[in-house]
Amino acid sequence: MKSEVNKLRAVVQRTIYSSVKVNDESIAGINKGLMVLLGIKKGDTQKEAEYIMDKIANLRIFPDQEGKMNLSVLDIKGKVLLVSQFTLYGDVRKGRRPSFIDAELPEKALPLFDYSLAYLRGLGLEAKTGVFGAEMQVFIANDGPCTILLDSEKVF
């Protein structure tokens, strides 16, 4: 039986435009780049964050001159919109109402989310975010569509 390990989850979408609103106020927006929804699991550390952020920054999902997915967001000088989403740890295997027992508590998740954002910026990316813990409306113009699922346990 596989032991339970810590792992961040990310839904990465290639986008031509993405934005976040809170209380009908535009908080952040990007043009060409990546929209990233990030789920933090109980016990996750900077090690998992570094793995996922490095993978996101170097993920070759943008077309080159021949139309092949061969360029990263760094290569195209794109931007990243990073939004925390604890519901990525919603477990619906039992019943119909999701359980979020595996999602990290906000007071522990926020420092790791901030670290992840700073890590992306440290790689040279312009990275924006919504408001951690707020009720947000996220608008995504998915380019392709192209959506990639990542987790630090490398399940997918």
115 inside domain = yes
4 inside domain = no
85 tagged catalytic:
yes
- Name the token pair of 12: 């990465």
- Beta carbons within 8 Å of 62's beta carbon, 6+ residues apart: 14, 69, 70, 71, 72, 73, 75, 76, 78
Domain interval for residue 51: 9-151
2 inside domain = no
46 tagged catalytic:
no
86 tagged catalytic:
yes
Split into its structural domains, the chain has a count of 1
Q: Which of 62, 86, 113, 129 is catalytic?
A: 86
Q: Which of 87, 100, 137, 147 is catalytic?
A: 87
Kindly report, residue by residue over 19-49, the tens digit of the pLDDT: 999 999 999 999 999 999 999 999 999 999 9
- Name the token pair of 79: 């931007």
pLDDT of residue 153 exceeding 90: no
Q: Where are the alpha helices (DSSP H) in the chain?
A: 46-58, 106-122
Kindly report, residue by residue over 102-149, the tens digit of the pLDDT: 999 999 999 999 999 999 999 999 999 999 999 999 999 999 999 999
Kindly report, residue by residue over 51-82, the tens digit of the pLDDT: 999 999 999 999 999 999 999 999 999 999 99
Whichever domain contains 146, its CATH number is 3.50.80.10
Q: Which of 13, 15, 85, 129 is catalytic?
A: 85
